[in-house]
Amino acid sequence: MLYHLLYPLHTTYTVFNVFRYITFRSIYAAITALLISFILGPWIIKKLGAVGAINSVREDVPARHSSKEGVPTMGGILILAALLIPTLLWADLTNAFVWLSLVATLLFGIIGVTDDMLKLRRGRGRGLKARYKFMFQVLAAVIVGAILVAVFEFDTKIHFPFFKGITPDLGWFYVPFVVFVILATSNSVNLTDGLDGLAIGPVLVSAGTFMLFCYLAGHVRFADYLQIAYVPGSGELTVFCGAMVGASLGFLWFNTYPAQVFMGDIGSLALGAALGTVAVVAKQELLLVIVGGIFVLEAVSVIVQVASFKIRRKRVFNMAPIHHHFELKGWAEPKVIVRFWIIALILGLVAISTLKLR
């Protein structure tokens, strides 16, 4: 909105010429998101507590989590406000990729808030039934994938990190691939959201990493020099990612140990869908495995645990997701969180290094 209101004035006042630069608008999208978080955060947390949006600790988590009983949840409302408002303010709203990312984020946010509200009503984590939740997620992801392929006529080739010459074209099979990417990312972030600040830290790193990749993918010269896919218009998602960075930082202010608020499914599902969509548009879908390595680790630990118990009647981990395993091994919660953050930062750097390893 600000871009459309102020940039046209650059012909009269040259100072407004800065609005043409994606880098400038991305930085201020992040700052705006951070300010929105600081301003609205205390009020939203208070309101969540007042309306009874209070966390109920499940029985299948370590006993020390009993101290988290009564902390406001559904703080993802704050994240979404701090993500959506700056994007609408600073992004070029004629860009279709911006709207697609917003739609994906909101669709999964709606699924998340429905799940959260049912949990509050029924108690003890009994939200949407798994089959219905999965069905709605698939439907939302299919909408995103179908729009990309059918409406945007999007490139259906897959690009592999490290291997510039391997680009298989999936054709219409790209839609189920997009569905898998978005669902896997969304649910992995959801599984990671089990300790104070644990999920939002890697989300922050991932958003910052894809902020760079979106900018490069949308710049024809940089994309050609680095031998990555050039996606016209994808550079505008740098603003969206900048807003996600600011929203993540702002939420972390209140979510850091000991948390004043939890994001709930409305936050984790929406953020995961946003990351998955951005990765698809930037043609860095497979890079998510590296950038979101923490999310992959958490998801794989659950899959391994369930499979092992069903096949061998034995558990591999003391408890899954794996962050609970380390808790039961005696690690203090802040130690688990910070060490996972460190790993996320390392993986983000490794992902960026792939730009020169092709």
User: Over the stretch 196-250, which tens digit does the pLDDT of each residue have?
Assistant: 999 999 999 999 999 999 999 999 999 999 989 999 999 999 999 999 999 999 9
Distance CA 73, CA 127 (A): 14
Backbone angles phi, psi at 329, to 5 degrees: -80, -5
Question: Dihedral of the CA atoms 349, 353, 354, 358 (nearest 10)?
Answer: -170
Q: In the predicted model, what is the mean pLDDT of the chain? A: 92
Banded model confidence at residue 63, pLDDT cuts 50, 70, 90: low
Q: From CA 76, how far away is CA 40, in angstroms rounded?
A: 12
* Mean pLDDT in residue range 53-64: 74
Start-to-end CA span in the chain (Å): 38
How many Å apart are CA 25 and CA 23, to the nearest integer? 6
Instruction: Decide: pTM greater than 0.85.
Output: yes
Contact of 303 with 114, CB cutoff 8 Å = no
Write the pLDDT tens digit of every residue in 238-279. Answer: 999 999 999 999 999 999 999 999 999 999 999 999 999 999
Tell me: pLDDT of 70 over 90.
no
Count: domains in the chain: 1
Residue 123 pLDDT: 67
88's tokens: 């609408």
Backbone angles phi, psi at 267, to 5 degrees: -85, -50
At residue 124 the predicted structure's pLDDT band, cuts being 50, 70 and 90, is low
Closest among 57, 357, 351 to 210, alpha carbons compared: 351
- Cross-strand partners of 79: none
Which residues does 102 contact at the CB level (< 8 Å), separation at least 6?
84, 87, 240
| Whether the Cβ atoms of residue 139 and residue 70 lie closer than 8 Å to each other | no
* Cis omega (within 30 of 0) for bond into 334: no
Structural domain boundaries, residue 274 = 2-356
Q: Which residues contact 223 (CB under 8 A, 6 or more apart)?
A: 216, 217, 229, 230, 231
- Judged by DSSP in three states, 169 sits in strand
Q: Which of 141, 221, 148, 249 is nearest to 187 (CA)?
A: 141
Backbone angles phi and psi of 198, in degrees to 5: -65, -45
Give the sign of the dihedral formed by CA 117, CA 125, CA 204, CA 349. Answer: negative
- Distance, CA of 79 to CA of 153 (rounded, Å): 31
Over residues 126-137, the mean pLDDT reads: 89
- pLDDT score of 191 more than 70: yes
SS3 172: helix
Above 90 in pLDDT, residue 166?
A: no
Amino acid (one-letter) located at 210:
F
CB 124, CB 58: distance < 8 Å: yes
The C-alpha atoms of residue 173 and residue 179 are separated, in whole angstroms, by 10
Distance CA 309, CA 82 (A): 41
Helices (H), the chain: 2-6, 22-50, 76-90, 96-122, 130-146, 174-192, 200-217, 220-226, 237-255, 264-281, 288-291, 293-312, 322-328, 333-353
